[in-house]
Structure 1
Amino acid sequence: MTELAPSSSSQSSFFASLYDNLQQNPYFNAGAGLAGIGIAMSFLRRTAQISNTYFRRRFMITLQVNNEDAAYPWLLDFINKRSATQTRNLSANTTVHQAESGKTELSISFLPGHGTHFLVHNYRWIKVERQREKQVIQKDGIRTPFETVTLTTLGSDVRFFKSLLEQSAREAIDNAETGLVIYQAVGPQWIRFGVPRKKRDIESVVLDGKICEQLVADFQEFIGSAGWYADRGVPYRRGYLFYGPPGTGKSSFISALASHFGYSVCLLSLSERTLDDDRLNHLLNTAPPNSVVILEDIDAAFVSREDPLSNHPAYQGLSRVTFSGLLNALDGVACAEERITFMTTNYVERLDPALIRPGRVDRKQFFGNATEMMLRKMFVRFYREPSDSNLADEFVKKAISSAEDGKHLSPAQIQGHFLMHKQDPRAAIDNIRNLF
């Protein structure tokens, strides 16, 4: 007999029966459930990874800096100052300074330790990760482990990290222990004179009225006007003449002004016996960058040609520098650009008009003896008194009333008097007559 092929209804009933049997099988149901959960979890994990990558690319920015970069210690210090309340994980950085005399100074600073830190800057949370790698680098002759610090925050504007780095660098530079560098002319070149001096605060030199503010503004305007001078074909040079009685702060203010703007000071004496016209011209035109040149007591080197003293034997042969040589060095054809020159004198009337004409001296400023305002300001500043202190009032009144025959006190005299009574403002008041 011929075997008949199963009908479609029979096949359907077979598969239905097989599905019912598998569904009733507990082992199969457990495996299918686990497989379904695995597939679902894999899908969700993949979706989360794609979403996280997309979110980080579109809505987060990252900055990475390693310890081969100059900004690395500045950034760590910046982070440490702002994450002090969020982290207790610190690393110490110890520096030892030992002088030739044996005096030793120890400096310890703390930086964020390795790991994760959080801080808030400009109302934005930042995640910080500091990592140390196994490889080492050569830095300042010392082998140190390679490190990186990674900053991550919400946002898409990279200017946020740019401003953060600029602020950290600015804070580090402002707090750096730098000093006022003094140069002295030795032969045909400028040589550093001693170690850098401690910078003097511009506010420590007390001047009358708005003189300090005006001179600072004038200096600031000049150093920021190189383009203006170039566009108009005007030589980019500035000359100042400070004149007045001895001890009124002329040289002190120049040092404070240079310190305030981060300039060095080049001292040049025209009375030096080895100085001649050629060397003077060379020195004035080869001053170190970002420096000011000071010609102190200019009246001692030259006397006005209109002054009867100019032919006196006592003033002959004081210097090998000729007057015409000085004038050419100040604004001759071969003069260098971007030069700032200060001249000081106690006797401005002795100076030749040709020396202090515009172009050689662009600003003249008188430094006078102590006025009532200066007396009060010096007393308040020295003794840390309130500005409306009764002691300051008493000191000013007694200083003015004690003056005899039109005598005036110079700021140098006042400061010397305060140093004699630096812990006792009352004694400074009671003994003011000793200055006259």
Structure 2
Amino acid sequence: MGGIAVVLAGIGVTMTRKIGKACYDAVFRQLVLSAEFNSRDDSFRWIISWLSEHPAVSDGKQFAVFTSLRYLGPAGRDLDRDEKKEDVYLLPTGWTMIRHKKHWLVVSREQGDEKSGGSPKERETLTIYIIGGSKEELLSIVRESRLAYEAKEKSRTSIFVADEYSSWNKIASRISRPLDSVVIWPPERAQWILNDCVRFMQAEEWYASRGIPWRRGYLLYGPPGTGKTSLVSALAGELKLPIYVVSLSSSKLTDDSFAELLNGSAPRCILLLEDVDAAFRDRHAKNASGGLTFSGLLNAIDGVAAQEGRLLFMTTNHRELLDPALIRPGRVDVDVRFDRCAKEQVGLYVRSFFRDITDDEVDAFVEAVPSGTLSIAQLQACLLRHRDSPPKALAELRTLLSSM
């Protein structure tokens, strides 16, 4: 009988604990609202940025110190730098309680590992508990953090690249470049491309009503240094879109990971594939590193499951090396050729570079550079070395041309 009593007592203690825990969980769920933010989602950046500047957080006692927030998981961000502030950012560690408006918030940051292809994948989770809160109050915090984040990013262009784990990693947030800072020839071509992008972005219902996939592709081709990537950056600034850059020669890319990457980009963005001629020489081969196949590339950008609503830009120095299947209509809708500087282009660029230059000095630069001899990058390099002295820049330019 004694043994039975011990067993029953043990069962009773176990049941009591389980009932107590169940009651505690039920009360906790009724009184505390929790929300989890994952580092692979945009909302994580909004909340991290909001927390780093919250007055209550600055009064804490335990911090993680960062000189850049881009390392907080694949979606981490680098906050706008202010010369008046120290380039050090403090974030709470472990469990932190802060007061926000009428409620107490408990913040928990945890970092874990996922497995992807056998390699550890950095991932961070942030959980906010709102004591006595509601979904409306949670959404209010999310909206507040998003608006604050977007206000800072309003005049900037965000650039994402695919990392070694096939996730998007934000590497830069740059002041948006104005379109008129890109000097291509003829000059009205840049505005025409911008207008075409705007018309596409506003035409979702038009495409749907006609059963046409809502996609737009651009091929920018020509010699190196002629302004292809610069134009993409300026368009992103004018359209207020982020740029997502993929290197097709990456050894980590496979057909599945490439499709996942593209579908994981922002719903409205510029997708940039640079130097597409260098990745595939044969449609039946894999890319230079042996991962992504040519058919995988085509399916990702134009297949049934391909994302819609984005602008696809591909650049190449050698259009003639591209497979016709890659640049057929529907995948590439607009071809834009970039050439080395025309004389008129030289004049426009020199005048925009040296703001106080005289007409005679501009004419001297124009006369010195024969059409089609220099790329805009070569011209810029000469001017940068003598940015305070047009005569010295002109002298070096003549030396360069004579050596060529």
Note whether the superposition's TM-score is higher than 0.5: yes
Indicate the residue corresponding to 1:350 in structure 2: 321
**Cα distance change on mapping 1:100 and 1:390 into 2, 3 Å:** same
Indicate the residue corresponding to 1:138 in structure 2: 101
Indicate the residue corresponding to 1:391 in structure 2: 361
Q: How many residues align?
A: 265
Moved over 4 A (4+): 173-177
Can you give the 5+ residue segments of structure 1 that lack an aligned partner in the other structure?
1-94, 102-136, 142-172
Could you list the per-position Cα deviations for residues 335-369 of structure 1 after superposition, in whole angstroms to 9, with x for gaps in the alignment?
12212111100000000000000111111100111
Report if the CA contact (8 A) 2:160-2:169 is conserved: yes
* Correspondences of 1:8-407 after superposition (within 5 Å): 97-100=85-88, 138=101, 178-186=155-163, 187-193=165-171, 195-209=172-186, 210-303=188-281, 317-385=288-356, 389-400=359-370
CA deviation after TM superposition for structure 1 residue 281, in Å:
0.9
SS at match of 1:418: helix
Could you list the per-position Cα deviations for residues 370-406 of structure 1 after superposition, in whole angstroms to 9, with x for gaps in the alignment?
00111000010000146x7111111100222xx8xxx
Same amino acid, percent of matched pairs? 39
CA deviation after TM superposition for structure 1 residue 420, in Å:
1.0
SS at match of 1:320: coil
SS at match of 1:196: strand
Q: Calculate the aligned-residue CA RMSD, in Å.
A: 3.0
CA deviation after TM superposition for structure 1 residue 317, in Å:
4.7
**Cα distance change on mapping 1:215 and 1:174 into 2, 3 Å:** farther
Structure 1: distance between partners of 2:350 and 2:288: 45
CA deviation after TM superposition for structure 1 residue 289, in Å:
3.1
**Cα distance change on mapping 1:316 and 1:197 into 2, 3 Å:** closer
Structure 1 counterpart of 2:360, one-letter code: N
Structure 1: distance between partners of 2:288 and 2:339: 32
Could you list the per-position Cα deviations for residues 60-93 of structure 1 after superposition, in whole angstroms to 9, with x for gaps in the alignment?
xxxxxxxxxxxxxxxxxxxxxxxxxxxxxxxxxx
**Cα distance change on mapping 1:245 and 1:139 into 2, 3 Å:** farther
1:414 to 379, 387, 398: 379
Indicate the residue corresponding to 1:88 in structure 2: none
SS at match of 2:369: helix
Structure 2: distance between partners of 1:319 and 1:203: 41
**Cα distance change on mapping 1:279 and 1:393 into 2, 3 Å:** same
Could you list the per-position Cα deviations for residues 71-118 of structure 1 after superposition, in whole angstroms to 9, with x for gaps in the alignment?
xxxxxxxxxxxxxxxxxxxxxxxx9633129xxxxxxxxxxxxxxxxx
Could you list the per-position Cα deviations for residues 34-55 of structure 1 after superposition, in whole angstroms to 9, with x for gaps in the alignment?
xxxxxxxxxxxxxxxxxxxxxx
> Which of 1 and 2 has greater Rg?
1
**Cα distance change on mapping 1:376 and 1:318 into 2, 3 Å:** same
Structure 1: distance between partners of 2:333 and 2:88: 45
Structure 1: distance between partners of 2:385 and 2:189: 28
CA deviation after TM superposition for structure 1 residue 178, in Å:
3.3
SS at match of 1:259: helix
